[in-house]
Amino acid sequence: MSGRVLVGVKRVIDYAVKIRVKPDNSSVVTDGVKHSMNPFCEIAVEEAVKLKEKKLIKEVVAVSCGPQQAQETIRTALAMGADRGIHVEVTGKDYETLGPLQVSKIMAALAKKEDAQLVILGKQAIDDDCNQTGQMTAALLDWPQGTFASEVSFDGDKIKVVREIDGGLETIKIKTPAVVTADLRLNTPRYATLPNIMKAKKKKIANVKPADLGVDLTSRLEVVRVDEPPQRQAGVKVETVDDLVGKLKEAGTV
């Protein structure tokens, strides 16, 4: 086994930012808005670095797809302990339409090229909430997948994944190589330490184009319109339970 883990890290609008829709309803405003690493990707990086610290794997490679700024996100991963980075350059219209289908093709190609033992991704990104990239990557590679992981451990030549599902927790064992997606409770990501921030400067970030990986970025989706959620309306007070039931029936919800 190569002992190499690929971790996908996505640059998204920071979770604390108040999102605004562009006046033409084409997308959200991103210019001048604070961006950070997707929180679930942080958890994925943390898990990979922990596995390396436990000496269960040998190398953590952070991958990000996007324009120049994606390198900032890779550098954050390096400062958390990843060994090297791969920046897959995607710009302009291609970047606007970049989605799970394209990214999973890229991740699959890189997983093969890098002879990865494990691909760890965040379960979803907080901007599009797609929750598809991990699953698609596994399908394209024909690898097993352990999604919504709240616990990951090595069990011989298999990986034991405890998954958070609607009914509770499900434990599965999957053979490697495999794809795992990180859920909220998998770990608490570390803050980069200052010495690691300095060390990250010396770590390499390779530049790759999707065409080099034989990936076609054409999107199958077209975003027609983006709207803000409807303004919250004031509530209505009622005097009795009967009134309440009456109102609910009127609204057709009961």
Residues that bind another protein (CB under 8 A): 16, 36, 72, 75-76, 79, 191-195, 197-198, 200-201
Nearest to 133 by CA among 3, 49, 7, 1: 7
* Cβ closest to another protein, residue 3 vs residue 39: 39
* 3-state secondary structure (DSSP) of residue 79: helix
* Cβ closest to another protein, residue 194 vs residue 236: 194
Query: Which residues, in sequence order, are CB contacts of 96 under 8 Å at separation 6+?
Result: 27
Question: How near is the Cβ of 180 to another protein at its closest, in Å?
Answer: 25
Question: How near is the Cβ of 65 to another protein at its closest, in Å?
Answer: 20
Question: How near is the Cβ of 75 to another protein at its closest, in Å?
Answer: 6
* Cβ closest to another protein, residue 57 vs residue 60: 60
Question: How near is the Cβ of 190 to another protein at its closest, in Å?
Answer: 8
Residue carrying structure tokens 């999973």: 104
* Cβ closest to another protein, residue 160 vs residue 190: 190
The first and second tokens of residue 211, run together, are 């065409």
* Cβ closest to another protein, residue 80 vs residue 162: 80
* Cβ closest to another protein, residue 14 vs residue 115: 14
Question: How near is the Cβ of 198 to another protein at its closest, in Å?
Answer: 6
Nearest to 32 by CA among 13, 48, 46: 13
Query: Which residues, in sequence order, are CB contacts of 164 under 8 Å at separation 6+?
Result: 148, 149, 150, 183, 185
Query: Which residues, in sequence order, are CB contacts of 250 under 8 Å at separation 6+?
Result: none
Between helix 100-113 and helix 133-141 the angle, nearest 10°, is 50
Query: Is residue 189 within 8 Å of residue 45, measured between CB atoms?
Result: yes
Query: Is residue 160 within 8 Å of residue 169, measured between CB atoms?
Result: no
Question: How near is the Cβ of 81 to another protein at its closest, in Å?
Answer: 13
